[in-house]
Amino acid sequence: MSTAFAESEERRDLRKAVAELGRKYGRDYFNAAYREGRKTTELWEEAGKLGYLGVAVPEEYGGGGGEIGDLAAVCEELAAAGCPLLLMVVSPAIVGTIIAQYGTDEQKQRWLPGLADGTSTFAFSITEPDAGSNSHKITTTAYRQEDGGWRLSGGKTFISGVDEASQVLVVARTEDHKTGNLKPALFLVPTDAPGFTWQEIPMGIVSPEKQFTLFFDDVVLPSDALIGSEDAGIEQLFAGLNPERIMAASFATGTARLALELATEYAKTRQVWKAPIGAHQAVAHPLAQTHIEIELARLMTQKAAALYAAGDHMGAGEAANMAKYAAGEVVCAAVDRAIQTHGGNGLAEEYGLVQMLAGSRLSRIAPVSREMVLNFVAQFSLGLPKSY
C-alpha cells in the first residue's frame, strides 16, 4: 500500500524491473506486431514467467500475493515503455480479482495458477449493443437447466482479446422463476463452446489486441460455470470494475508518460533558430503542464489502489473513477501536445506519436466514459440529483 505519498521500496523495485523488461521489447516491437498482424505473445509469456502478470494473485494459487496497486504499476511501466498490454486490464485485473474473491476453492485451483503465470488468458464481456453504458439493461440471459447446468443466449460488443482467450467471463442475467425478474450473474464460457461465435470489429487503433462482437446461441454450460453466487451479481461485478478503472488509469498515464518523454527529448534537441525549441515558453509550458497533470493522475490512481486494498470499496470506487477520468484527459492532452511540439514530424510514423492518437482518445470513452464518471461524481460525491 502507498503511504505518505510515496510507494513502498518493493513497488519501486517492481517498477524498475518491469521498465527494464519493457525496454527490452519497446515501441518498435509493439508497432511491428500490429503491422504484421501478430500478437505480443513473447512479451506476455515473459511477463508471466517473471511473475508480473500474477503479482496480485494470492500466493497459494501461484501468484505474488500483492495488491491491485502492484499490478497497476506493471501495467503503467509497460505502457510507458511503448508496449502496453491491454489484456492485463482484463485477464488478471478483472477476471482474476473476481475469481480470487468469489470463486469456489475448485475454481480458484483450476483457473488462478494459469492466470498468474500467463499460460491462460481470460476475456471479459459486459457491453451490449442496445445497453451501452447502462449495464442494468443487459439482456444476455442464462437459463437454469434441469440437470443443474445453464443455457446462455444473447450477445456482446466491443469485447477485447477474445481470439487470445481460452475463457470469457460473461455478465449475464438469470431468470428468477418465482418472480419472472432478471438478475445479473457471472459465467465463465469456453471460447470453443458450441453455439459461441464472434466477429471482429475493424478498428482504427494501433494495437495487436482486437475487438469483437460476440454471439451466444443457446450455449450449454455446466453448473460450475457460474462464478460466485447468482444472487450477488452486482457486488461481484463491481469487485472487478474498480480494479478495471485503476488499471485503465495506469494504462493511460503510462502512455502519457511516453508521449511526454518523446516530446521533451525532441524539444531539447530540435533547433530552428539560436536555441532548442524547448527554450521557448510556448513549447515548454504545455509540456510542464502535462507533467503536472500526469503526476496528479498517478497520485489519484495510487489513492484508489490503496483504498481498494484497505477494503474501502465505496471510497475506492470514487477514487478509481476520478483517476480514470484524470488519466483519460491527460493522455489525450499529452499526445496532442507531443504532436504539436514535433510540428509536421508529429504526424510522421517514424516519430511514434501519430500511432497513439486513436488509442489515447479511447481512454476518454472506455472502460467508462468521462460523462458517466462526471455523473457518478455529481451524484455520489456532491449529492446532486441523479440525472439519468
In whole angstroms, give the CA distance from residue 34 to residue 32: 5
Among 198, 225, 252, the domain boundary falls at 225
Res 237: pLDDT = 83
Residues 301 and 374 in one domain: yes
Residue 377: give its domain's CATH number.
1.20.140.10
Within-domain flag for 386: no
Res 341: pLDDT = 98
**Can you point out the beta strands (E) in 6-165?**
122-125, 141-144, 150-160
Amino acid at 302: Q
**Tens of pLDDT, residues 259-274:** 999 999 999 999 999 9
Res 132: pLDDT = 77
Among 187, 204, 225, the domain boundary falls at 225
Within-domain flag for 4: no
Within-domain flag for 79: yes
* pLDDT < 50 regions, the chain: 1-2, 177-178
Residues 215 and 128 in one domain: yes
Res 234: pLDDT = 75
Within-domain flag for 369: yes
Residues 356 and 265 in one domain: yes
Percentages helix, strand, coil for the chain, rounded to the nearest 5? 55, 15, 30
Among residues 119, 110, 72, which one has the least CA distance to residue 94? 72
Within-domain flag for 200: yes
Contact 15, 72 (CB under 8 A): no
Residues 199 and 316 in one domain: no
Residues 46 and 92 in one domain: yes
Range of the domain at 318: 233-381
Residues 237 and 371 in one domain: yes
**Domain tally for the chain?**
3
Residues 169 and 241 in one domain: no
Other residues' Cβ atoms within 10 Å of the Cβ of residue 235: 14
Res 180: pLDDT = 52
Residues 267 and 334 in one domain: yes
